[in-house]
Chain A
Amino acid sequence: MELIDKTKEETMKLTLNKFHVKDIRFAEQSSFANGILYIDKKDLAAYLMEDSNIQSVDFDIARPGESVRIVPIKDVIQPRYKKSGSGQIFPGYVGDVETVGNGETNVLEECCVATSGKIVAFQEGIIDMCGLGAEFNSFSKMNILVPLIQPIDGIDKHTHEATVRIAGLKTAAYMAKLSLALAPDEVETFEHESILEMGAKYPDLPKVVYVDMVQCQGLMHDTYIYGLNVKGILSTLIGPLEVLDGAIVSGNCAAPGHKNATIHHENNPIIMDLLRRHGKELCFVGVLLSNESAMLKEKMRAAYYTSNLSALLGVDGMIISEEGGGNPETDLMLNCRFHEQRGIKTVLVTDEYCGRDGASQGLADVTPEADAVITNGNGNQFVVLPKMDRVIGDIETARVITGGNANSIGADGTLSVEIAAIMGSCCEMGYERMTTRLR
């Protein structure tokens, strides 16, 4: 018997079929034609209400440049649906738990789902479709479908969160499924070999791993891989193409400016940049997931074990992104220290809370080994957002969300908040374009 099968496919290949969405409109029948996404509200509502925890659901639409404010928002999701390959998008939820990350996936660009509806009395964020607030995230440049989900009476907070999370994923899949029979506007293909194969192919390129820190501390602080809550897992390895195919889903609402929403995972800019440079400037070995627990021993275990995996992989460098702020800075710094102690160079990606003038300490923890740190902005930056003609959701929640306060809503309709209140403003994966300069 031959032990080595030389015909075996060792390269994962994922093609993203990109469709540019010019508008979303409600219609009698759902379809996608000439860049216009038509949504039959009744059909989509019936699909979502297969979940018996939903009492009712309505939908609204926000378009770039409109005088519209959406608040509160729980998650933002890019519509994707697999056309071929194994598994289905958002495995564990829309798809079964079968492996994703290969074949073709249809992607709706300039388009997203933003789930709304109050779960706890704080933590969800704002998207403004025009004005100053629109400058702080990319979502304002997208056509947004907003499901407004009303759960059944008496539902507990954990179930309510899960209900809204899953409804958002299903809505995104429903939308992208409408493109299945169409030819895409644009195609991008990513390839990723097995680790042994890439080692043989690119022996002289620097080997780099990406450590994706994921939040997992409890209600409104959770992340899911293939539908599994990452709480208590040992650090693990995942293929980058699986992440682009929705294998990581956000259940995290802490806090809007710097939580990683599902759309950030689907479009993780660090993964996409590393994939584009793979085999040219560097050898991108893969993605390590390192969780952010509350117990200090668990933080140590995660960071040690992540550095063990990096050493096993034989990498020269590591890029790490944080999720949230405060205690996760200890995870960030432990990961940095333990990797550097093993001779692995590190780059840290984070954001800061350093006061309105930027003069306070921006991070809750530091280590001397952290000598290459990228910041994505100061969440304490204070802004006054103009009045909007229309609000989707409930403007009163602006008084209690992170970055807002009791006096946030002015008599003239303006909104005074820290940018921490704006969805994804300081995304710690570098999804937006903001940074901080030393003066």
Chain B
Amino acid sequence: MKHAFRCVTNNPLLAVQDFPNLEYHDTDVLGLLRIVYQEVIGGVKLLTHPLTGSIRPDITPYKTVLLSATASRVDFESVRLMERALQYTEDLYRLRDIPLYKQCSDEAKADFQLIDLSIIERALEVAQWS
């Protein structure tokens, strides 16, 4: 059975890999979470946690979130998780004048992209959607 989902990301490695159902946004993690929040309050459901991995959202420049392919009634658990994730991320972004993710070397950026890809590939593998 083919599962339908939307893949919202700011990770360019997913675009290079021709990842399915990709919606790429040139923004930072906080910007991406704000985009996802708008989707969620419009009735789209979160499929992955918005803070996947254990790398803080002020440290990694990249995030990928899987969403339901269609919108229906607002899923309050998705809204609640997004509100917590946004607050958590905004607090961490405020820790420094320049957030840590903006201080990344190109080498570190490549590693963060690989980790984000690995997490989302694993998510699909475990759900047996890949």
Contact = CB atoms under 8 A, between A and B. Distances in A.
Contacts of B110: 121
Interface residues of A, number: 49
B88 interface: yes
10 smallest CB-CB distances across A and B, nearest first, come from A324-B54, A254-B54, A218-B118, A326-B51, A120-B111, A360-B91, A327-B49, A219-B118, A294-B123, A121-B108
B81 to A, nearest CB: 7
A120 B115 contact: yes
Interface string A350-361: 000111100011
B38 to A, nearest CB: 19
Interface of B: 46-57, 59, 66, 77, 81, 84-85, 87-88, 91-92, 94-96, 100, 103-105, 107-108, 110-112, 114-115, 118-123, 125-127
Chain B interface, >50% SS class: helix
Given A121-B107, A254-B55, A231 B88 contact: no
A218 B55 contact: no
Nearest to A123: B55
Chain A interface, >50% SS class: loop
Contact of B122 (A217, A364, A365): A217
A284 B55 CA distance: 33
B54 A120 contact: no
A296 B48 contact: yes
A217 B92 contact: no
Given A217-B119, A221-B119, A294-B120, A120 B87 contact: no
A217 B121 CA distance: 9
B118 A327 contact: no
Contacts of B52: 217, 294, 327
A23 interface: no
A255 B112 CA distance: 13
A405 B103 contact: yes
Contact of B51 (A121, A122, A158, A364): A364
A11 to B, nearest CB: 36
